[in-house]
Amino acid sequence: MDLIKDIDILSTEEAQDSDFQTTPEGNTGKAKKVYIESYGCAMNFSDSEIVASIMKDNGYDTTSDMKKADVIFLNTCSIREKAEQTVRNRLNHFNGLKRNKPGMTIGILGCMAERLKEKLIEEEKIVDLVVGPDAYRDLPNLVATAEEGVKAINTFLSREETYGDISPVRLNSNGVSAFISIMRGCDNMCSFCVVPFTRGRERSRDPESILAEARDLVSKGYKEVTLLGQNVDSYKWSPEENNKARLNKKEEEVSTVVNFAHLLEQVALVSPQLRVRFSTSHPKDITDEVLHTIKKYDNICKSIHLPAQSGNDRVLELMNRTYTRAWYLDRVRAIREILGEECGISSDMIAGFCSETEAEHQDTLSLMEFVKFDFSYMYFYSERPGTLAAKKYPDDIPLDTKKSRLAEIIDKQSELSLERNRLDVGKEQVILIDGASKKSGDELRGRNSANKVVIVTSEGLQQGDYVRVKITGSSRGTLFGSIQEINPSNIA
Ligand code: SAM
Ligand code: SF4
Ligand code: F3S
C-alpha cells in the first residue's frame, strides 16, 4: 500500500508516518474552498479524491492554500503511534490559523477518526467534525452542522460502501498514473494491525464501475493504473453477494463470480497501452492463476508487493499472518518460476515484534537474503491499542533493540537493492516517463515494469511517453538508462 513513495528512499517509519499530500488549486469557480491533507497509505490518498469529489458536488473547490480554506480536512492514519502524533502536531499548527479565521471548519477524517471517535473532539478543541472512512457521503451534512457551531461526528462502518459510483477528483496527479480502489476494509486479523478496526469488513467493488473508471482514465490520457486493496487477492465480486437487485438478470449472469485474476485480466484488456499495477498481495492468498494472468498480458507490470513481515514461524504465528516461512518461500518460488528473475518482489518488514528473540530476528534477515527483495518498507513494531497483540502480548522488546534490529534490516535491504539493481545493467527495458528527475532539470524519470526508477535524458521526451531504454548504470535506489526507442509498439 505504499506505492506513492519513491523506491530510492528505503522507507522507514520516520519518513513515512510524517509524509503527507495536499490538495492542488481547484479553480472550477465554486464559492467555497476545501484544503485536504492526506496521511498514510495509498488507499487513504485515493479516499481523499472521493472526498474532493463529494465536496465539489456540494459547492467546494480544492485549494492548495490552507489560509484560503473554509474547510480543512486531515485525512489521517493510525497504523503506528508516530502517524497519529504527526497529526496531533499538525492540529497545533492549525490553532493559529483558526484564531485568525474563526469561521473555518476543521475536520478529522480517516483511520484516526474511526479509532478515536468522540475522544478526538474532547481532546482536540479545534476539531469541529470527525468522520470515518465509510461516512464520506455524509460530509456535506456534517460540514453544515459544524458551520452552525455544533460539533459533528459520523464513524459508522458499512458492510456495503465502496463509493463505486463516485468519480474521484484526481489530486496531485501527474496525468499519467492513477489509483483505482477495488475493495475496502480487511478481514484478516494480523495481530499487530489496526486496519480491520479502522476500515471495517472487507468488501469488493463492482467490476463494472472499476472498468468504467479505467476506461475514463484512458480517455483522459492516463497510461497507468494501480488497483488498490489491503489484500487484492481476496477480491471477489458476485452479483448474489454484492448486488441483490441484479438477481433479476439471467441465470448465467448471476452465477458469475469475479476473482482478482479475472478482474486483472479485464482491466488489462481495457487498452494494451495502459499499464496495470496492483497492491497489496497477501502471501496466504496470491494464486498461480493471478501469476499466470500477469504473465499473459504485456501491460500488467511484473512487480509484486508481497509483505513478509517476519522470516520466523513462531513470530508469524504470533502475528496471525496465517502462513509459514516455507509457505512464503513457496510463493516466491512460484513467482520466479512463472514470471522469471526480472519480476520485482518487495516486502514490508516489522522489527522487534512482541517477544522476538535475536535468533528470530536473524531469520528475518536470512529470509530477506534468500528472496533478494528489490525494496522493502521497514518499521519497528508500534503497539496499537485494541489490536489482538496489544491485548495478548506484552510489547517487551526495548526501543533500542527494536531500533538496532530495524537498522540491520535496512542495511540488509540496502545491500540487496544494490545487488538486484546491478543485475539490470546492460538489459533493455520499457519505462513509462512519469516526472522530472529530482537531481537535474535535463533529466526525466520513469519506472520499469518491476517498479524501479530509471533516469534518462529529457531530450525529445515528455511525461506519459513509453521509452525502450538500455540500462547503463545503477545505484541502490535508481537505474540509469539510454534511450533506444520512443513509444515502442510493445510496452512489455
Ligand atoms: N495489507 C497489507 C499487508 O497485509 O501486508 C499491509 C497494510 S499496512 C497499511 C502496511 C504495513 O504497515 C504492514 O505491512 C506492516 O508492515 C506495517 N504495520 C502495520 N501495523 C504495524 C504496527 N503496529 N507497527 C509497525 N508496523 C506496522
Ligand atoms: Fe493489516 Fe493484515 Fe489486513 Fe494487511 S492484511 S491490512 S496487515 S490486518
Ligand atoms: Fe492506511 Fe493508515 Fe488507515 S496505512 S488504512 S491510512 S491506518
Probe residue for ligand 2, chosen from 195, 235, 317, 353 as the CB with the greatest number of ligand atoms within 8 Å: 195
- Ligand 2 atom having least distance to the Cα of 309: 7
- Which one, of 81, 39, 20, 5, lies nearest residue 402 by Cα? 81
For ligand 2, whether the C-beta of 230 sits within 6 Å is: yes
Spatial neighbors of 396 by CB under 8 A, at least 6 apart, are 354, 355
Q: How far is the CA of 384 from the centre of ligand 1 (A)?
A: 11
Q: Which of 422, 456, 471 finishes a domain? A: 422
Express each pLDDT in 131-165 by its tens digit.
Answer: 999 999 999 999 999 999 999 999 999 999 999 99
> Is residue 241 scored above 80 in pLDDT?
no
166 in a structural domain: no
Same domain, 352 and 478: no
- Ligand 1 atom having least distance to the Cα of 231: 1
Q: In the prediction, which pLDDT does 250 show?
A: 54
Scanning the structure block, which residue is given the C-alpha cell 493559529?
A: 96
Q: In the prediction, which pLDDT does 491 show?
A: 87
pTM for this model (two decimals): 0.94
Same domain, 143 and 218: no
Express each pLDDT in 15-51 by its tens digit.
Answer: 567 788 998 888 788 889 999 999 999 999 999 999 9
Give residue 465's domain range.
Answer: 428-486
Report CA-CA distances (Å) from 463 to 436, 445, 451: 8, 9, 16
Sequence letter at residue 49? E
Confidence of residue 253 (pLDDT cuts 50, 70, 90): low
CATH number reported for the structural domain that contains residue 400 in this entry: 3.80.30.20
For ligand 2, whether the C-beta of 231 sits within 6 Å is: yes
% of the chain surpassing 70 pLDDT: 93
CB 157 within 8 A of CB 197: no
Question: Per-residue pLDDT averaged across 230-250, rounded?
Answer: 73
Spatial neighbors of 490 by CB under 8 A, at least 6 apart, are 298, 430
Q: Supply 79's cell numbers.
A: 497504523
For ligand 3, whether the C-beta of 448 sits within 6 Å is: no
Determine phi and psi for 185, rounding to 5 degrees: 75, 180
251 in a structural domain: yes
CB 44 within 8 A of CB 110: yes
CATH number reported for the structural domain that contains residue 78 in this entry: 3.40.50.12160
> Which residue owns the Cα nearest ligand 3 atom 2?
77
Q: In the prediction, which pLDDT does 93 show?
A: 86
48 in a structural domain: yes
CB 43 within 8 A of CB 228: yes
- Ligand 2 atom having least distance to the Cα of 199: 6
Confidence of residue 248 (pLDDT cuts 50, 70, 90): low
Q: In the prediction, which pLDDT does 216 show?
A: 97
For ligand 2, whether the C-beta of 195 sits within 6 Å is: yes
Q: In the prediction, which pLDDT does 270 show?
A: 98
For ligand 3, whether the C-beta of 40 sits within 6 Å is: yes
215 in a structural domain: yes
> Is residue 14 scored above 90 in pLDDT?
no
Report CA-CA distances (Å) from 304 to 56, 124, 332, 379: 35, 40, 10, 19
Q: How far does CA 470 lie from the centroid of its chain?
A: 30
Q: Supply 313's cell numbers.
A: 514461524
Q: How far is the CA of 265 from the centre of ligand 2 (A)?
A: 25
Q: How far is the CA of 199 from the centre of ligand 3 (A)?
A: 8
Q: How far is the CA of 274 from the centre of ligand 2 (A)?
A: 29
172 in a structural domain: no
Q: In the prediction, which pLDDT does 4 show?
A: 37
| Cis upstream peptide for 12 (omega within 30°) | no
Q: In the prediction, which pLDDT does 95 show?
A: 85
Same domain, 198 and 339: yes
218 in a structural domain: yes
Is 271 strand, coil or helix?
Answer: coil
Sequence letter at residue 172? N
Distance between CA 320 and CA 313 in Å, rounded?
10
3-class DSSP string for 275-338: EEEEECCCCCCCCHHHHHHHHHCCCECCEEECCCECCCHHHHHHCCCCCCHHHHHHHHHHHHHH
CB 461 within 8 A of CB 468: no
Probe residue for ligand 3, chosen from 79, 85, 114 as the CB with the greatest number of ligand atoms within 8 Å: 79
Probe residue for ligand 1, chosen from 318, 348, 383, 410 as the CB with the greatest number of ligand atoms within 8 Å: 348
Q: In the prediction, which pLDDT does 327 show?
A: 98
> Is residue 7 scored above 60 in pLDDT?
no
Scanning the structure block, which residue is given the C-alpha cell 519506472?
A: 447
Confidence of residue 439 (pLDDT cuts 50, 70, 90): confident
> Is residue 6 scored above 50 in pLDDT?
no
Structural domains in the chain (count): 3
% of the chain surpassing 90 pLDDT: 83
Report CA-CA distances (Å) from 62 to 32, 57, 105: 9, 12, 14
Q: How far is the CA of 378 from the centre of ligand 2 (A)?
A: 15
For ligand 1, whether the C-beta of 60 sits within 6 Å is: no
Question: Per-residue pLDDT averaged across 193-214, rounded?
Answer: 97
Q: Supply 453's cell numbers.
A: 526508477
Distance between CA 437 and CA 454 in Å, rounded?
9
For ligand 1, whether the C-beta of 16 sits within 6 Å is: no
300 in a structural domain: yes
The DSSP element (H or E) to which 43 belongs, if any, is helix 42-56
